[in-house]
Chains A and B, each alone.
Chain A
Amino acid sequence: MNRALTATIGLAAIGLPTANAFAAAEAGAATAAAAKKVVVTRKFTGPTAQADQWGTVQINVTVRKTTSTVNGHKKVTRKIVDIGGSFSYHTDRSQYIMSQSLPMLRQAALQAQSANVDTISGATYTSDAFKQSLQAALLKAQQS
């Protein structure tokens, strides 16, 4: 037995959200600023990690640390604003794997944060080496 799709006409339902919708939401949040605010943006680099047989990966994260003071109460928030990295490779195949993976990983990590989700279905393609180097860089940022 067929159930109906959520639709107005034919199969249409809703439009795909665009980048602008997210950007607008973020801009709105930024204007609701606290009384006193200190913003520091710094880049932290993780150690070089071995990515199986493909080569090595080194990740850096740029973190924006916001310290706001309201009625004497200090609140510190950190937001990842960029993730970058470098990699080495020894064959064309490993160059391909690394050059494909790194941009994907960067975006997966950034999007999870910006969209306020716990996990992502569809394109979470990551590797141990990326995670290791990223987590070490994040730890440095947390302790700053």
Chain B
Amino acid sequence: MTAVAGGERRVEHVMGMPVIVDLRDDDVPSSAIDEVFAWLHLVDARFSTYKADSEICRIDRDELSAEDAHPDVRAVLAQCERLRGETHGYFDVRAGTDGRLDPSGLVKGWSVDRAALVLDAAGARNYAVNAGGDIRVRGGALPERTWRVGIQHPRERDHIAAVVVTDDLAVATSGAYERGEHVIDPHTRLAPAGVLSVTITGSDLATADAYATTAFAMGPQGAVWTQSLSGYEAMTILADGRVLTTPGFPAGD
């Protein structure tokens, strides 16, 4: 983390988590990173479940109907609903213990996917955006031609369990070790047992994140479910130390 060849790295605390933009292209202006953070702050204002005047809080209090909300809010809620069906109710924006509307699980990935488009439009070809451990990378960590994405070891905090090597991918990990047991099975309202973490890779971070949350909430059965995913690969770490991967999971050494 000390030697950076070129480009620019910036960290800001947005949406309740650290977001790191690591841009390696020398010929892309800093304003592209300004634009990314401006976008994420705008998303936070619109989707925050902590800010009473956000559109999400207003919809939750029935002060705003979903049809009158900003097109982005409508698009996110529609995608949440689609994912709820696709995941048999495991990915549920009202799954929290208080039953309040909380699309944060999708908003994080969705906003990073859009941030990547901002960087693409500015001509960036080599970058990583890491939002609280969920990642979108493109190109390589110049002068390297690829990115090495470490997957947090769920038991030994100062180690990684695997490395994903890629030049164009979204990587999302869901686990109980991160901020306490914040993922619950909406059907039992309990934290899943038997699984330490699930990592999903694919083209779209919002979808990868939702799938990771789902597979983790399902418990050990989640690994079986990940086999049915189209275009997304999975690595599941079980409490007994077994690591299950789908055939195309891009693990490097």
Contacts and interface: CB of A to CB of B under 8 A. Distances in A.
A40 interface: no
A144 interface: no
A113 B159 CA distance: 10
Contact of A6 (B20, B128, B245): B245
Interface size class of chain B, counting residues whose CB lies under 8 Å from the partner chain: 35 or more
A19 B159 contact: yes
A111 B11 contact: no
B211 interface: no
B134 to A, nearest CB: 7
Contacts of B20: 119, 124, 126
Interface in B11-54: 11-13, 17-18, 20, 22
Interface stretch (B64-72, B79-87, B221-229): B221-229
B156 A19 contact: yes
Contacts of B245: 5-6, 13-14
Which residue, A14, A15, A122, has most C-beta atoms of chain B within 10 A?
Answer: A122
A71 interface: no
Given A11-B223, A11-B224, A116-B148, A123 B242 contact: no
B173 A121 contact: yes
Contact of B17 (A4, A5, A80, A125): A125
A124 B128 contact: no
B13 to A, nearest CB: 5
B171 A125 contact: no
A113 B1 contact: yes
Interface in A87-109: 103-104, 107, 109
Interface stretch (B90-98, B112-120, B175-183): B175-183
A112 interface: yes
B159 A119 contact: no
A104 B177 CA distance: 11
A121 B169 CA distance: 12
A123 B178 contact: yes
A6 B158 contact: no
Contacts of B156: 18-19
Contacts of A116: 148
Nearest to A103: B157
A43 interface: no
Nearest to B237: A16
Contact of A15 (B2, B22, B172, B241): B241
Contacts of A124: 18, 20, 130, 132-133, 152
B183 to A, nearest CB: 13
B118 to A, nearest CB: 19
A131 interface: yes
B227 A119 contact: no
Contacts of B13: 52, 127-128
A52 B137 CA distance: 28
B137 A123 contact: no
A31 interface: no
Nearest to A120: B150
16 contacts: A1-B228, A3-B227, A5-B227, A5-B247, A13-B243, A22-B159, A52-B13, A121-B173, A122-B152, A122-B173, A122-B175, A122-B199, A123-B177, A125-B133, A125-B179, A131-B11
Given A3-B246, A4-B247, 16 more contacts: A2-B227, A5-B245, A6-B246, A16-B161, A17-B161, A107-B157, A112-B1, A114-B159, A116-B148, A120-B151, A120-B152, A121-B133, A123-B177, A124-B130, A141-B2, A142-B2
